[in-house]
Structure 1
């Protein structure tokens, strides 16, 4: 028996709302040198990636985890840094003392926010 398309759409919509409700607030910075990484050594993982702060690192258990990241606002005088977009990133590195919850690749940061901001408020959720 096939499930009607409208039921599938409702399930997807509710799941999206549920994941948004479970998002965790944090801050994000960005970086530009992606190799080597703490999780994958010299094996490149592309540029849609992030590094985890000490708070999330947990002895590397976060390596390879996937997160949806959304800019929620400024942390400094740069007004309206957010683009309204979200990105799905893979954790590939450790960022000890980086000053943010996640250190995003510059490509990711530039997609969700104006890089001039340098540091932004985010919501993130593991998917």
Structure 2
């Protein structure tokens, strides 16, 4: 019985490590309205929980319509107070062209959920949901 419990505990620990390590890391910035037109959906209104994908995830428009959970993990500059507030789920509706300052360019409203907008740019973890 004790051996079974140890095996079960090992499986649970490995499963937790695998799920944590799945998230990719990068940076998030934000852009302001108007949010239409967008590269993916033209003049269709997709609300405000949206984002633009950089080349890191754009994949020749394949990112259009994908949902990502984005979690702030810390400031991009040392010595800056912790800007993080949490996580948000966004839909990719636009393209952030080469030179984009972040991996994911969130709408201003989505960025404000995960971090203090005064930070401008934050480190993130993100994964497709």
Short-chain TM bin:
0.7 to 0.9
How far apart, in 1, do the equivalents of 2:39 and 2:115 lie?
Answer: 26
For residue 31 of structure 2, what is the aligned residue in structure 1?
A: 31
C-alpha distance in structure 2 between counterparts of 1:18 and 1:46, whole Å: 33
TM-score (norm 2): 0.81
Please give the alpha-carbon distance, in whole angstroms, between the structure 2 residues aligned to 1:112 and 1:17: 23
Distance 1:52 1:126, change over 3 A: same
The residue number in structure 1 matching 2:84 is: 82
Per the normalisation by structure 1, the TM-score is: 0.82
Q: Which runs of 4+ in 1 moved over 6 A?
A: none
- 1:123 equivalent in structure 2: 125
Deviations, residues 65-86 of structure 1 (Å, cap 9, x unaligned): 0110000000025310101x21
Structure 1 residues 58 and 74, CA gap change in structure 2 (3 angstroms)? same
Per the alignment, residue 44 of structure 2 pairs with 43
State how far apart, in whole Å, the 1-side matches of 2:62 and 2:109 are: 24
Shift of 1:108: 0.7
In the alignment, which residue of structure 2 is the partner of 1:9? none
CA distance in 1, matches of 2:83, 2:52: 21
Q: 1:71 to 1:37 in 2, by over 3 A?
A: same
Residue 112 of structure 1 is aligned with which of 107, 111, 114? 114
CA distance in 2, matches of 1:92, 1:99: 17
Label 1:87 to 1:18 Cα distance change in 2 as closer, same or farther (>3 A).
farther
